[in-house]
Amino acid sequence: MKTTIELPDDLALRARRCAAESHTTLRSLVEEALRRELQRRETPMVWSPDPTLGFGSGGLTSSAAHLTWSEIREMAMQPS
């Protein structure tokens, strides 16, 4: 299917440059990126707690004791 999209100039320039450096077409680059993003959004995120953070009766492990709550939350929410 043929379609038209509008991109910000800086993004279009970066994409064209990337395609040229990769010896591919802009169309192929956009198609690959779109497929990857759609797959990412369609795949449920599997979450499991990071064992290095520690939780339960012992509190935080020494490796996580110096982190801010924001950093701990960010580490805990990363897919395993």
| Residue pLDDT, tens place only, 4-38 | 999 999 999 999 999 999 999 999 999 999 999 99
Q: What digits encode the pLDDT tens for the residues 37-58?
A: 999 999 887 777 666 666 566 6
| 77 and 50 housed in the same domain | yes
Q: How many domains does the chain have?
A: 2
Is the model more confident about 77 or about 37?
Answer: 37
Is the model more confident about 74 or about 47?
Answer: 74
In this structure, is residue 51 part of a structural domain?
yes
In this structure, is residue 2 part of a structural domain?
no
| 55 and 32 housed in the same domain | no
Residue-range definition of the domain harbouring residue 80: 46-80
| 52 and 79 housed in the same domain | yes
Q: Could you give the dihedral angle defined by the CA atoms of residues 40, 13, 10 and 39, in that order, rounded to the nearest 10 degrees? A: -10
Structure tokens, 27? 């169309």
Q: What is the mean pLDDT of residues 59-71?
A: 79
Question: Per this entry, what is the length of the chain?
Answer: 80
In this structure, is residue 3 part of a structural domain?
no
